[in-house]
A = this chain, B = another copy of it.
Amino acid sequence: MSLTKQTDQVKQIETGSILTPKGFQAAGIHAGLKRKRKDLGAILCEVPASVAAVYTLNQIQAAPLKVTQESIAVENKIQALVVNSGNANACTGQRGLKDAYTMRHASAQQFNIPEHLVAVTSTGVIGEYLPIEKITDGIKQLEPTSIEGAAQSFNEAILTTDTTTKQTCFQTVIDGQTISIGGVAKGSGMIHPNMATMLSFVTTDAVIDSVELQKALSSITNQTFNRITVDGDTSTNDMAVVMASGLAGNKTLTPNHPDWSSFYEALKLACESLSKQIARDGEGATKLIEVQVNGALNDEEAGKVAKQIVGSDLVKSAVFGKDANWGRIICAIGYSECKINPETIDIAIGSTMTLLQSQPLVFSEEQATAYMTDEDTVVINVDLHVGEGFGKAWGCDLTYDYVRINAGYRT
């Protein structure tokens, strides 16, 4: 495995996956929900894994989210996670709930584990019933392994209109033991007729209690998964799950552990990596946009301003047009409802300063356009000069293809 990125304590493992942490197996197959592509997958752990999860804040929650929450509530552990794509099992009432229970039951039988150690999730069309026989037949074919290719099969099985699979892996050393964190995600694509979903699954072999894992995930989610936007629409099925097998042999991680910050940083980098991959693969996107806000009242407000900018259709359209359009950026800052001083705002697009202390600068349009043309990631840097808060957010440009994909008729 090649090493490509390194902080003091945390290494990125370019070719790592959800199977890099000890104790995990995966599978992905075609069960017949989609026409040809893989549409059913599972992650299985050798042992019941400590688990942490965050769910969509949409008040309309799909049936599998309810069943998964019920599973986790029993002992804060899961051993298997089963996912289908092609159908979200959302807005499907009592029958949908029954189908989600059936999916959980079939998985528990297949893997010979208690039902409450199974999490289920779905992504795809809203408002259509699950083809439950295809699901249960498919589950009988799921035979998770740790061989090369199994992670990739799972990665593929959870996609909807994503154009690429998304995975990440980081390692750090705790108590002299290498611990790994692997992750997979699917992005916000569109399945006819409805919005799909952000799903992220992270595995680790670190020894950690689910309570501490949940605290870490909740905190990190606010800085990573909750900082991306493709179109401002929060799905009914969003879910991020971390499973910790505890097979790495470190002493139990808590915030008092001397290496806690390394673990936290590695988990955060994994979630940030998945978040950026999701945003980059937003529907119709040609660019990843990263907004960095400095000098906000606090970190929370910095994140809020950053997300407001990256969520502005006008800013997104300008990036698509390679237009260093700082007026749209300051406009988004102005309606963010965060503390600002209208006279002290700096804005840079890449290395081009366009506004200093709220005064327009004369800048090279050519240089700015070249930057936005050549780079895959467009970085917008804002300094509000009202405090010490810092935060980032990620999104993508708004393109003709976004409209084409989402105006496409369902049939």
Q: Which A residues contact B (CB, under 8 angstroms)?
A: 57-61, 90-93, 125-128, 190, 193-195, 231-236, 311-314, 317-318, 320-323, 325-328, 330-335, 340, 342-343, 355, 358-360, 365, 369, 398-400, 402-404, 406-411
Given contacts A321-B406, A409-B321, A411-B365, contact A127 B326 (CB under 8 A): yes
B323 touches A194 (CB 8 A): no
| Contact partners of A327 in chain B: CB under 8 A | 90-91, 125-127, 193-195
CB distance from A203 to the nearest CB of B (A): 29
| Contact partners of A60 in chain B: CB under 8 A | 330-331, 333-334, 340, 342
Q: How many copies of this chain?
A: 2
Instruction: Give the complex CA separation of A406 and B318 in angstroms.
Output: 6
A58 touches B126 (CB 8 A): no
B313 touches A232 (CB 8 A): yes
B328 touches A407 (CB 8 A): no
17 residue pairs of the A-B complex, CB under 8 angstroms, read: A59-B333, A60-B330, A60-B331, A91-B327, A93-B359, A125-B327, A127-B327, A193-B327, A194-B325, A194-B331, A195-B331, A232-B312, A314-B406, A320-B403, A321-B409, A323-B408, A400-B400
A317 touches B403 (CB 8 A): yes
A313 touches B314 (CB 8 A): no
Query: Could you list 5 further interchain pairs (A-B, Cβ under 8 angstroms) beyond the known A91-B355, A234-B331, A317-B406?
Result: A59-B333, A59-B342, A60-B340, A127-B360, A232-B311
Instruction: Give the complex CA separation of A402 and B194 in angstroms.
Output: 22
B409 touches A323 (CB 8 A): yes
Smallest Cβ-Cβ distance to A234: which chain B residue = B335
A91 touches B360 (CB 8 A): yes
B406 touches A335 (CB 8 A): no
CB distance from A345 to the nearest CB of B (A): 8
CB distance from A403 to the nearest CB of B (A): 5
Instruction: Give the complex CA separation of A162 and B92 in angstroms.
Output: 43
| Contact partners of A365 in chain B: CB under 8 A | 411
| Contact partners of A314 in chain B: CB under 8 A | 190, 195, 231, 233, 406
Smallest Cβ-Cβ distance to A314: which chain B residue = B233
| Contact partners of A340 in chain B: CB under 8 A | 59-60
| Contact partners of A400 in chain B: CB under 8 A | 400, 403-404
